[in-house]
A = this chain, B = another copy of it.
Amino acid sequence: MFIQIEPSSDIPIYTQLANQLIELIARGELSGGDALPSVRSLAADLGMNMHTVNKAYHTLEKKGIIAIVPKSGAIINPPVQAGIQDSHRARIVEELKPILAEAIVLGMGKEDLVTLASSIFADIKGE
């Protein structure tokens, strides 16, 4: 598992970890049904505390991306075929809105935003 943490970043370590795990899943390097490493082993691998990894896992669970089975481990949820759930979509919208507003103020138009979204999509999926 290829994960790189920037200790000097203003983004919390557990958020960096959660984001990189999400990208690995989006890119297909981790798939639905796969088990994530135990919090202890991943913490040892990355040189961080067990509780930090635990917090990242629980962040992913709250987002509906993995399932944590008590006393057993964390498993990536199977891909949804019926499309995104409304509750998740609403959360994405709330996260996206302030960033898109910023982009608009800084001079981007509707076409620019659509192009940007497509290009980031391609980048995540692996160019």
Cα distance A5–B100 when bound, in Å? Answer: 20
Choose the segment among A41-49, A50-58, A81-89 that binds chain B (4+ C-beta atoms closer than 8 Å): A81-89
Cα distance A12–B26 when bound, in Å? Answer: 29
Copies of the chain in the assembly = 2
- In the complex, which of the residues B19, B98, B104 contacts A19, with contact meaning CB atoms closer than 8 Å? B98
- In the complex, which of the residues B63, B85, B110, B125 contacts A102, with contact meaning CB atoms closer than 8 Å? B63
Interchain CB contact under 8 A, B80 and A97: no
Distance between A64 CB and nearest chain B CB, rounded to angstroms: 6
Chain A contact residues, CB within 8 Å of chain B: 19, 22-23, 25-26, 63-65, 79-85, 88-89, 92-93, 95-108, 110, 112-114, 116-118, 120-121, 123-125
